[in-house]
Chains A and B, each alone.
Chain A
Amino acid sequence: MISEILQTLPQVLVDGLTLGAIYAVIALGYTMVYGILELINFAHGEIFMTGAFVGVAVLFFMSGAGWLAVMPAILALLIVLVVTSLVTGVLGMGIERVAYRPLRKAPKLITLISAIGVSFLLQDIVRFITEWKRGNYIVTGPQLFDSKIGLDFSSIWSHFNDAILKTSSVILLVSAILMMIGLDFFVNKSKWGMAMRSVAQDRDTAALMGINVNKVISLTFFIGSALGGATGVLFAMQYGTINPYIGFILGLKAFTAAVLGGIGNIRGAMFGGLLLGVLEMFASANLQKLTGGVFTAEYKDVFAFGILIIVLIFKPEGLFGKAVTEKV
């Protein structure tokens, strides 16, 4: 049994990290907004989905205009990423302005409902537009990268099998890591990042210190949504096919990842995402062997979420979260 698990381990890790990277970048969007507003922005999964659709639309436009054939794939991807990030970033800002800002003084629950409303709205708007334009809301975009790389794990240790890695996975992983490092740097080192952190700590005092709170919150939504949209593009690259409902389950898992890492904590969200991805992939590949066939892969979420519950029992603030002392 152990040797069987070991054999597939390299491939499981590769697949798990790829899935985890997607969770992680989406989790960043949840955790940033929560850190600043203490609002769970449930529309974030739908922003990710919108990003995937915008990205595929841009790709279709570029291939229609004949640009895809003449430029290197990586440049095309870069253009798509930038355009999509701008679109979804502005979309996120707009959502904040229309659906959250008027409710900022209202109880938290009201804003949460408003967020759920926005997410349904986005799903159906995207479905409507796609069906209207293409006649079918399931869209398969053009593939920029379809080669594979064989990873020679068996030469490292003979118990391992070789793994196959798609080029798009490499690009996904690299882009996700770049985005995460960039964000970490921005939040911790730049002036705007400092403003964001101060608003997160105490909004009123930050305002007294001359920080434009509304601007900072807008910026937070812009960055979070831009990252979400960009992840959508990477997702469309990796899996090829998108539909307006991909945001729901992925958003839920990413939110879980954010909680696992400690909601409000950016590094925690990254780690939580990667951990959840690997756990899930490991469970779906090995649960049957581990339990002697009693539980099969369909219980992978039970396994992953069971671990989440155990973590939260012993560390309710999440792996990287700081325990908050109640203000009196």
Chain B
Amino acid sequence: MVLKKSLAVVMASALSLGLLAGCGGESGGSSGGKVIKIATQTPLSGGSATLGESIKLGAQLALEENKKKFEKMGFKLQLVPYDDQADPKKGVSNANQLGADTAVMAVVGHLNSGVSIPSSEVYEKYNVPMVSPANTATDVTDRGLKTVNRIVARDDFQGPAGADFAIKTIGAKKIFLVQDKTAYGQGLADAFKKAAEEGGAEILGYEGITVGETDFNGVLNQVVAKKPDLVFFGGLYTEGALLIKQAREKGIDVPFMGGDGLDSSTLVEIAGDAVKNVYYTSVAADANKTPEGQKFASKYKDKFNKTIESYSAYGYDSMSVVLQGLEAAIKANDDKLPERKVVAEHIRKIQDFQGVVTKVGFDDKGDNKFAKVYIYKFEEAKYPGKQEGEISK
């Protein structure tokens, strides 16, 4: 009984303290300044936890580097990581939670476009600005939400970027296209075809295969007969790997090219040595290519004792963009904490932010004007491929 009572007393006092602290926050407390929370929403559990965690850690690094600056301005930065489990339902419920918390000023996330799209409807409702480090689906920004931004390229730029590289760098003049009849594969192949035709290449064929099938010799017999100097595949790695493998067995040794659907270690596992001379596009740059990126990688390694993943630096840059917008909003508001709506406006206003892997400047939809598509090539049967080039808009 005594124990229970004392527990109740402790709880009650904790609660009232919490309330007081809350009031203090509202009325501009003294010690350490007002708390500003920045949330991350990425998958921290489940199949894509490695990627989600790496975005969170990148964001955390940027936040910690900026802590001192904000303390001088009278604010205390705090990171609140949420786990969206790569699940739209979980993402939305987290979004409601963090939207209701008035101390949360912005969100860095998500990894998956499918989660980002419904969750951002909630952010829009609460005016929480979001900067995505990894979403590529066109619908993320095409809905015209004021709070939604991304720093990577859009899906519909991959095809044209690939065509540009294929024609100018690889020197392809006669191209054969194969696609898998899905929205992703056909969309990618169509965009590539259009850009390639405009670039002056001749399209020798445009054929479809069926997802789930394993024998693509029929289509490949056409490729053999037409003798193209590049084969483009719009689709995912499972079919892509088999297609490449069977093509090489038929003696088709021209370069293959595909979108980020081929960006998987399983492609190498299935195709083996056949994967050589295969190009794929990706929206993520290899951070180790630039000196700034290498510096970031070693900082990251020192702090977390982990090597960077493909989106770590994008997490870092997203957070930096958020903080820059926040800083500008605070300054514009006479060094007082602005409303979230104002922060969102200031983030959207950013035009020339130089990050570790990418330059950031948002257009009126929230797409990054400086986003690039990177071309990778498999030179040996090893994942990932080597970054060969970058294409900007």
Contact = CB atoms under 8 A, between A and B. Distances in A.
A297 B217 contact: no
Interface stretch (A76-84, A152-160, A208-216, A277-285): A277-285
Contacts of A239: 214-215, 242
Interface string B87-115: 00000000000000000000000000000
A298 B225 contact: no
Given A166-B249, A297-B218, A140 B225 contact: no
Contacts of B266: 136, 138
A249 B249 CA distance: 24
Given A12-B221, A285-B222, A297-B209, A19 B215 contact: yes
A11 B225 CA distance: 11
A114 interface: no
Contacts of B249: 148, 164, 166
B238 A249 contact: no
Nearest to B221: A285
B218 A140 contact: no
A283 B208 CA distance: 12
6 contacts: A4-B225, A164-B249, A240-B270, A241-B270, A249-B210, A301-B210
A132 to B, nearest CB: 14
Nearest to A15: B217
B207 to A, nearest CB: 4
Interface of B: 181, 205-210, 212-215, 217-219, 221-222, 224-225, 238, 241-242, 245, 249-251, 266, 269-270, 272
Contacts of A166: 249
B375 to A, nearest CB: 25
Contacts of B218: 12, 15, 280-285, 297, 300
B221 A11 contact: yes
A288 interface: yes
A139 to B, nearest CB: 9
A148 B251 CA distance: 10
Given A281-B221, A297-B207, 13 more contacts: A7-B225, A11-B217, A15-B215, A140-B272, A241-B241, A241-B270, A249-B212, A250-B214, A283-B218, A285-B221, A298-B181, A298-B209, A300-B218
Contacts of B242: 239-241
Contact of A164 (B209, B212, B250, B270): B250
B231 to A, nearest CB: 14
Interface string A245-288: 11011100000000000000000000000000000111111001
Nearest to A150: B251
Contacts of A300: 218
Given A8-B224, A241-B270, A284 B219 contact: yes
B146 to A, nearest CB: 41
B217 A138 contact: no
Q: Which of A19, A138, A235, A240 has the most CB of B within 10 A?
A: A240
Most B C-beta atoms less than 10 A away, residue of A12, A235, A284: A284
Nearest to A14: B217
A296 B208 contact: yes
A288 B222 CA distance: 9
Nearest to B218: A284
B207 A298 contact: yes
A31 interface: no
Given A288-B205, A288-B207, A297-B219, A11 B270 contact: no
A231 interface: no
Contacts of B205: 288, 296
A239 B212 CA distance: 13
Given A11-B221, A240-B245, A280-B218, A249 B213 contact: yes
A220 interface: no
Contact of B208 (A243, A248, A249, A297): A297
Nearest to B186: A298
A161 B242 CA distance: 24
Contacts of B209: 297-298
Contacts of A288: 205, 207, 222
